[in-house]
Amino acid sequence: MAGTVEKPLAPSYQEVPGGITAPRGFRAAGLHIGVKRFRKDLALVVSDVRAAAAATFTTNRVQAAPVRVTREHIQGGYLRAIVCNSGNANACNGPQGVHDARRMAELTAAALGAAPGEIAVASTGVIGVPLPMDKIAAGIEQAVHLLSREGGDDAAHAIMTTDTFPKQVAIEFELKGKTVRIGAMAKGSGMIHPNMATMLAFIATDAAIEPAALQSVMRRSVERTYNRISVDGDTSTNDMAVIMANGMAGHEPLSLGDPELETFAAALDYVNGVLARAIARDGEGATKLIEIRVVGAPTEADAVQIGRSISRSNLVKTAIYGEDANWGRILCAAGYSGADFDPERVDVYIGDLLVCQDGTGLAFDEQRAKEILKQSDVAVTVDLKAGSAEATVWTCDLTYDYIKINGSYRT
């Protein structure tokens, strides 16, 4: 029933080094160009050949300029490169912002000998400050010269904002008789919530997949991974997840309806799941990864709705920070989720410890609860006993450092 955190969403895969440059035919660079004061702030990921591409974007009504531009470019179904700056979100900058985002694509395309529509553009950072385009232009020029097969790690660093560690993973698996790789990097930290919150994820694979099939598996995978994490419930203006599949593994391309598409989809879920959990673990100020599993639900949608409500509760998140087995707050957050369930049937587990049965508190072993809550990974299971559907969402605890980080970010 309850228990371990980070149960993989799919069978385990062979992890390999190299991050986003692990698959064949991808090169990357990450460098400091002066948007941020000291740290790396420009990442470039390039496929040697044109790659099928797909993307998902923030659902916020306020969409940053790079989101608008990349949304247009992805319509073509193919990309050559992704260019991303950190330190400045290029959001709420009016027509100038869109102009600057287009210019980023044009400069990158020119330097690579590609078309502007083959470039995805992303930005993350402060809202409402125009991009320093002179620095961006010089930086793109420089980045192209730094591109290498070992550049994945630099690129993963360059997209960070308040992230405390880079997030990357790469795996190798068999597909249509060939060895294929998926490599990926992401950034998260604040403003993380379902439906793509200041969250960027870039995925590269040498698998061969038609754009429509890629869009289909990507959308479903994002729904199950990045859209099931929450740091503070805020959904940003800049989120996107972009995947490029360049086909250099050399197998027959996967299209919609191909049974092997599920093999790829499972591998993609694994990669996105690892990054999603890393983002939740690295939520601003977080000390713990919290996994909330809602089981025994009538439908998966109910389970997700209840899980998200619990994952957004400041009271639950502070209680877990305080290592307090306050199941009442968990049940309460389930109660205001809007999902229909019978509170008098609900069981709540902290780790594998049953603390509330049929909606009523148990005299549980407080010492054991303390031990479970002391861990850096805490699992909470809510069993509705009303069906067989389930869902897992991830969040982090809410701490003094969240306040510290966010009380003085802009200035």
What residues make contact with a second copy under the rule CB under 8 A? 59-63, 89, 91-94, 126-129, 190-191, 193, 195, 232-237, 312-315, 318-319, 321-322, 324-329, 331-337, 339-341, 343-344, 356, 358-361, 398-400, 402-404, 406-411
Nearest approach, Cβ of 350 to a second copy (angstroms)?
A: 13
Nearest approach, Cβ of 2 to a second copy (angstroms)?
A: 18
Beta bridge partner(s), residue 43: 30, 84
The string over 308-322, giving b where at least 16 C-beta atoms fall within 10 Å of a residue's C-beta and e elsewhere, is: bbbbbbeebbbbbbe
Nearest approach, Cβ of 76 to a second copy (angstroms)?
A: 26
Nearest approach, Cβ of 42 to a second copy (angstroms)?
A: 21
Beta strands in 89-208 (DSSP E): 119-126, 167-175, 178-187, 200-205
Long-range CB pairs of 260-265 (<8 Å, 24+ gap) are 260/175, 260/176, 261/209, 261/213, 261/217, 263/173, 263/175, 264/175, 264/180, 264/205, 264/207, 264/209, 264/217, 265/217, 265/220, 265/221
User: Between residues 242 and 325, which has the closer beta carbon with respect to a second copy?
Assistant: 325
Give dist(CA 101, CA 136) in Å, integer.
10
- HSE, CB side, 13 Å, CA atoms: give it for residue 220: 14
Nearest approach, Cβ of 215 to a second copy (angstroms)?
A: 23
Positive or negative CA dihedral for 296, 300, 306, 311? positive
Beta bridge partner(s), residue 411: none
Angstrom CA distances, 11 to 7, 33, 79, 204, 381, stand at 10, 40, 30, 20, 22
59 is catalytic: no
Nearest approach, Cβ of 191 to a second copy (angstroms)?
A: 6
Q: Which two tokens stand for residue 364?
A: 């549980």
Nearest approach, Cβ of 185 to a second copy (angstroms)?
A: 24
DSSP code, position 21: G
Q: Choose the catalytic residue: 70, 124, 162, 198.
A: 198
User: Between residues 234 and 300, which has the closer beta carbon with respect to a second copy?
Assistant: 234
Query: Rounded to the nearest 5 degrees, what angle is found at the Cα of 220, between the Cα atoms of 217 and 224?
Result: 130
Could you tell me which residues come within 8 angstroms of residue 318 by beta carbon, excluding any fewer than 6 positions away? 397, 398
Q: Which of 85, 56, 88, 50 is nearest to 71 (CA)?
A: 56
User: Which residues are part of the catalytic machinery?
Assistant: 198
